[in-house]
Amino acid sequence: MIFNRVLKDKIAGKTMLFLTILACSSLLLIFAGLIFKSLPVIEKSSFSELLFSSKWHPLKGEFGMLPFISSTLWVTGVSIIIAVPLCILSAIYLSEYAHKRILQLIFPIIDILAGIPSVIFGVWGLILIVPIFGYSILSGGIVLAVMIVPVVIHVMIEVIKTVPSELRDASLSLGATKWQTIKFVVVKKALPGIIAGIVLGLSRAFGETMAVLMVVGNVVKIPHSVMDAGYPLPALIANNYGEMMSIPMYDSALMLSALILFIIIVVFNVFSRLILIRIERNVGYNS
Amino acid sequence: MEQSSHIKVKDLNVYYGQNHVLKNINIEIPNNQITAIIGPSGCGKTTLLKCFNRLIESVDGVRVTGEVLVGGENIYDPKAEVTHIRKKMGLLSQRPFPLPMSIYDNIAYGPKIHGERNKKELDRIVEHYLKEASLWEEVKDRLKTPAGSLSIGQQQRLCLARGLAVEPDIILGDEPTSALDPQSSRHIEQKFIELKEKYSIVFVTHILRQAKRIADYLIFIHMGEIIECGPTKEILENPKEKKTQDYVLGIIS
């Protein structure tokens, strides 16, 4: 009897371990697959040419990715610049100033927004944003910002809620105003979580395909201002995969662009992890 | 002219929603003495303490009527300015909550938000109040390290120094030793006795022996009402009310 229970316990543990490894290994599998598939184009042209040239002439066998990489960075950058201040301030308002009932009303709305399919945001962008700003990086950034705001606000509110109220009391009892308390104590204590929220938004923004593709113009050119059209990496892949496969090396080039996107996101995540560790060490969160 | 007491409470009532938690509180807190608020759990001790610096307002759904006069000024007057009231009181909470910054900045925080910018003056303040809280010798070589790296006992003394640095008249303590080990507790008690020369001290405690050791004046609260108050000796040796007797003998707790 006892043996049976112990056996079950062991099997349960091992099974879960196996499944966890399986889930995590998909990351490595994707990475390996992308490398394998993009090898042909890497072997044919040099890395620097692929990464830093803006010559995109698939028929001539030239696959310079710079326009796509820079478009991706532009669109994501614009969306973050719009979204981050908005998110931080709304999260502070909702968790520190708003009446509980307002929070109870708004929180579900935020979650619904987070669950809306991206095509709908794209259509909304086409109808509302494109007539004002044209097919441009700015339009893409705005649509993207609207999409990531709910996710990021959600995370930030959860994080700010974890700051103990006694810490606020400590600051208030020294005669600090509410705003001073928020600025110097609450935000500081919640900073690692706030950054984690921003990174989550960033990761989502980098990879978002549909909505951006619909409003950003998809012109192969390095953008020089936010009013220029752009062509981010995910849009490139979504638009062309399966369409232009008769051109030699084209599918390999698309795989390389996917690999680049993958690496950008991984690097950002690792980088932000490092920043978080630094902050935590500096401020001392062991209390 | 005799100086009037720092804290005077008139007809104070506090409600949490439908719950009437403090009933018709009328009391004067003696100056330059240690006053202990005692009573069973949930009787409203901490609520009363939080009324003194209006921290009670951050509780949801709370309603306060009546007056609390601090230095002659009714702090519940709609015109009263709350940061200036709170500056008059240093607060020690149950567990120490150092601000998420360095030891130095924890002390300098108060003076800074009240407008002190002079680096030399801040240095002086930090040193002075860390000495006042007997922490200077232990931390003088690591002022820039995070306050969270101190032991709990040190953190509580840091919080004391932080409160003193805004130059209050009154020190409020909400069971300030309940999270500390016996030695650190004694340290804080000793500090209170030294500090009463300069400050009026009010603290909540559920340890009757602690009240007996350091308090000059006792306020006994039961079910939101002040049952009895007076000099410690009198209350403990000759309680007039039955409820006080029961509490002192350990029958209600």
**What residues does each domain of chain A span?**
56-286
Neighboring chain B residues of A189 at a CB cutoff of 8 Å? 100
At residue A287 the predicted structure's pLDDT band, cuts being 50, 70 and 90, is very low
The pLDDT tens digits for B202-252 are: 999 988 889 999 999 999 999 999 999 999 988 888 888 888 888 888 766
Contact call for residues B96 and B152 (beta carbons, < 8 A):
yes
Task: Supply the pLDDT for residue B252.
Answer: 65
pLDDT at A1 over 60: yes
Give CA–CA dist A97/A112, Å, rounded.
22
Give CA–CA dist B37/B18, Å, rounded.
24
In the block, tokens 């303590």 appear at B173
pLDDT at A177 over 60: yes
Judge: A175–B58 Cβ closer than 8 Å, yes or no: no
Task: Supply the pLDDT for residue A125.
Answer: 94
Contact call for residues A144 and A205 (beta carbons, < 8 A):
yes
- Choose among B58, B96, B149: nearest Cβ to A284: B149
The 3-state DSSP composition of chain A as helix, strand, coil percent (nearest 5) reads 80, 0, 20
Quick check: B53 contacting A, CB < 8 Å? yes
pLDDT at A58 over 70: yes
Looking at CA atoms only, how far is residue A280 from chain B in angstroms?
A: 10
Task: Supply the pLDDT for residue A280.
Answer: 76
Q: What is the 3-state secondary structure (H, E, C) of A136-151?
A: CHHHHHHHHHHHHHHH
Q: Which two tokens stand for residue A56?
A: 């995109």
Query: Once rounded to an integer, what is the mean pLDDT over residues B11-17?
Result: 91
Judge: B55–A184 Cβ closer than 8 Å, yes or no: no
Judge: A177–B155 Cβ closer than 8 Å, yes or no: no
The pLDDT tens digits for A78-87 are: 999 999 999 9
Neighboring chain B residues of A96 at a CB cutoff of 8 Å? none
Looking at CA atoms only, how far is residue A197 from chain B in angstroms?
A: 20
Contact call for residues A150 and A241 (beta carbons, < 8 A):
no
Neighboring chain A residues of B103 at a CB cutoff of 8 Å? none
Quick check: A102 contacting B, CB < 8 Å? no
Judge: B97–A170 Cβ closer than 8 Å, yes or no: yes
Give CA–CA dist B12/B25, Å, rounded.
5
| Closest CA in chain B for residue A285 | B148
pLDDT at B1 over 60: no
Quick check: A100 contacting B, CB < 8 Å? yes
Distances (CA, A) of A16 to A4, A13, A25, A27, A259: 18, 5, 14, 18, 30
- What are the residues facing B159 on neighbouring strands? none
Which stretch of A4-13, A43-52, A127-136 has the lowest confidence by average pLDDT? Answer: A43-52
- Choose among A170, A176, A282: nearest Cβ to B83: A176
In the block, tokens 């698309």 appear at A254
Q: A21 burial class (0-12, 13-18, 19+ CB within 10 angstroms)?
A: exposed
A contact test, residue of B54, B62, B75, B86 with most A CBs within 10 A: B86
Task: Supply the pLDDT for residue A235.
Answer: 92
**DSSP 3-state of A59:** helix
Pairing assessment for the beta strands B34-38 and B200-204 based on DSSP bridges = parallel
Neighboring chain A residues of B109 at a CB cutoff of 8 Å? 171, 174, 176, 184
Percentage, residues of chain A above pLDDT 70: 97
Looking at CA atoms only, how far is residue B58 from chain A in angstroms?
A: 9
Helix (H) or strand (E) holding B23: strand B19-29
Query: Once rounded to an integer, what is the mean pLDDT over residues A201-226?
Result: 89
**Averaged pLDDT score across all residues of chain B:** 89
Quick check: A180 contacting B, CB < 8 Å? yes
Eight-class DSSP state of A230: B
Query: Which superfamily is assigned to A56-286 in CATH?
Result: MetI-like (1.10.3720.10)
| Closest CA in chain A for residue B95 | A166
- What are the residues facing B174 on neighbouring strands? B204
Looking at CA atoms only, how far is residue B232 from chain A in angstroms?
A: 28
Task: Supply the pLDDT for residue A284.
Answer: 54
Order of strands across the sheet that contains B7-16 = B19-29, B7-16, B62-70, B73-74
- Choose among B83, B91, B166: nearest Cβ to A177: B83
Query: Once rounded to an integer, what is the mean pLDDT over residues A164-180?
Result: 92
How many Cβ atoms from other residues are within 10 Å of residue A249's Cβ?
A: 17
Neighboring chain B residues of A284 at a CB cutoff of 8 Å? 100, 145-149
Contact call for residues B29 and B3 (beta carbons, < 8 A):
no
Task: Supply the pLDDT for residue B242.
Answer: 87
Quick check: B205 contacting A, CB < 8 Å? no
Judge: A285–B100 Cβ closer than 8 Å, yes or no: yes
Query: Once rounded to an integer, what is the mean pLDDT over residues A38-47?
Result: 86
pLDDT at B94 over 70: yes
B contact test, residue of A100, A160, A173, A186 with most B CBs within 10 A: A173
Contact call for residues B59 and B16 (beta carbons, < 8 A):
yes
How many Cβ atoms from other residues are within 10 Å of residue B109's Cβ?
A: 22
Give CA–CA dist A235/A74, Å, rounded.
14
Quick check: B115 contacting A, CB < 8 Å? no
- 239-278 in chain A: CB under 8 A from chain B: none
Q: Using alpha carbons only, what angle is made at residue A73 by residues A67 and A76, rounded to the nearest 5 degrees? A: 135
Contact call for residues B226 and B218 (beta carbons, < 8 A):
no
